[in-house]
Amino acid sequence: MTHIAWADVTHFSSSPQFNVPEIGSGIGLIDRQNEKMIGEKVYREVQHQLPIAHNTWLEDQLLSVFSNILSQTQLGQPIGLVLVNDAQINAFAVPGGLFALNTGMITSARNLDEIAGVMAHEIAHVTQRHYSRSQEAFKGQSLLALAGIIVGALVASQADGNAGAAVMMGSQAALMDQQLTYSRNQEREADRIGMQYMYAAGYNPQSMADYFEVMHRTTSQVSFLPDFWLTHPLTTERMSEARLRANQLPQVKSGMRDENFEILKWYTLVVTNQATELQLQTLAKQGSFAGELALAAFYNQQGDYVLAQTQLNQLKKQKKLHNLLTLIQTDVYLGQNKLDDAYQTIESPARVMPENRALAYKLAEVLIRQKQPAQVNNLVQNFVNQNPRDITGWHLLQQSANIDVASQLRAVNVLRYRAEVEYWSGLEEGAIKSLLHAQRLAKDNVAMSVQLKQRIDQMQQERQLKI
């Protein structure tokens, strides 16, 4: 895990290199299955202890960039991308393929390529298995201790000094000192390979160097964080080395005036309560589509559906189709309990783009209000099958099961879906209790009983991983 701890890069060749080292097996390599379990354990802890932004449209936008970069690697399906609702600039990666970005990464970036550069650097740490290759540092189960420190440090960064002091005490501080920083060679490798990944995915490698400058200016804002976040202070040498490496690669045009990025940025500012009405009104008056859309989202979030609708009506005159406009309009109708209007707004776009999770889940919300459980299940189940850690999906299935009054297994289904929400939200004990309760209710249904027992056993086994 790094606070984008990109180390001083002092050596590189004069021409672009596109060789990614082969990571073979050997002594000290942690089994990939263990890495996955550790990554999932940290995922649950992070969900439990940090302010996670559960917003399907935002998640999907960032996942799209993330997937573009991942497609350049040999990494299997990652555990996921988590969005932490925190204005500080930060990102981290955990073995097994868990990646997290603070919302501050989006709001402080100037284009999508800058965010891509950060993601690529973190992805490179994971593809090169930098944790697991530190043989001296990790023996036996000590990677779990490291995972605990990751979570502890993240929590400490959210609190005032006392929590941080508790994390840093005693042996943990010593362990952190020895193990939590990547070596210079590993940082150099992540820099070099990360830049290759982002370039191969079509992003501008100059943006990695550009973002150094952004971070350099904001370092003062993160001075309260524990020292190890700032292991490699930003220097002019580091910035110039990154620039030189980027200059070796063919030029890629950067989307400096990319309207989609402006929408992403201003919408993030709204949902994280960092944008003021006056700011958004000023932007909207300048004819900014992103500003107008963000203002509609702002009014909808405030529950002022009349003003939100007025703003949406203005937007529609521009005849621009945008999924976020569809989602906000659906929300405005839901807020006013205009279920038919909400359905008419979302149904067609969601059917035309069945792979679009944000649209599918918004349609599911409408169908839940319309008491249509079977349709909800058809929509949501595919997404949850693809990603069993999808808390929003499980929550929709729980709500759907609750309105399915005709089902003999109604109570059992509500409990088992609730258990998944609890489990992936870090409430492991509560999840197991919910499943045990479901098991008692399903005792006469052999197939369901077997399914529940398997899931209980799995949860209990994974819970044994102590952090």
- Interval 18-37: pLDDT, tens: 444 433 333 334 566 777 88
SS3 state of residue 38: helix
Burial letters for 231-265: b for 16+ Cβ neighbours within 10 Å, e otherwise?
A: ebebeeebbebbbebbeebeeeebbeebeebbbbb
Judge whether 40 counts as a catalytic residue: no
Judge whether 191 counts as a catalytic residue: yes
| 290-295-296 Cα angle (round to 5) | 100
Listed residue (123, 229, 232, 240) closest to 185, CA to CA: 232
Choice between 17 and 441, residue whose per-residue pLDDT is larger: 441
In angstroms, rounded to a whole number, what is the distance separating the alpha carbons of residues 295 and 280? 6
Mean pLDDT, all residues of the chain: 80
Q: Is 213 annotated as a binding residue?
A: no
Helices (H), 248-369: 259-271, 277-285, 289-302, 305-316, 323-335, 339-352, 357-369
- Per-residue pLDDT for 13 more than 60? no
In angstroms, rounded to a whole number, what is the distance separating the alpha carbons of residues 245 and 212? 13
Choice between 290 and 39, residue whose per-residue pLDDT is larger: 290
Choice between 177 and 294, residue whose per-residue pLDDT is larger: 294
In angstroms, rounded to a whole number, what is the distance separating the alpha carbons of residues 337 and 369? 9
pTM of the shown model: 0.83
Contact 280, 266 (CB under 8 A): yes
Q: How many CB atoms lie within 10 A of CB 385?
A: 10
Average pLDDT over residues 376-403: 96
In angstroms, rounded to a whole number, what is the distance separating the alpha carbons of residues 130 and 190? 9
Provide CB contacts within 8 A for 81, sequence distance 6+: 59, 62, 63, 66, 99, 100, 101
CA distance to 132, 178, 337, per residue, from 142 (Å): 11, 12, 53
The dihedrals phi and psi of 98, each to the nearest 5 degrees, come to -100, 125
User: Residue 93: which pLDDT band, with cuts at 50, 70 and 90?
Assistant: confident
In angstroms, rounded to a whole number, what is the distance separating the alpha carbons of residues 360 and 377? 11
Q: At what angle do helices 112-127 and 184-200 cross, to 10 degrees?
A: 130
Q: Is 125 annotated as a binding residue?
A: yes
pLDDT score for 218? 65
Q: Is 121 annotated as a binding residue?
A: yes
pLDDT score for 141? 43
Contact 389, 40 (CB under 8 A): yes
- Per-residue pLDDT for 9 more than 60? no
Torsion of CA 204, 206, 210, 212, to 10 degrees: 110
Listed residue (164, 176, 159) closest to 50, CA to CA: 159
Average pLDDT over residues 51-55: 92
In angstroms, rounded to a whole number, what is the distance separating the alpha carbons of residues 235 and 150? 25
Catalytic one of 35, 59, 122, 331: 122
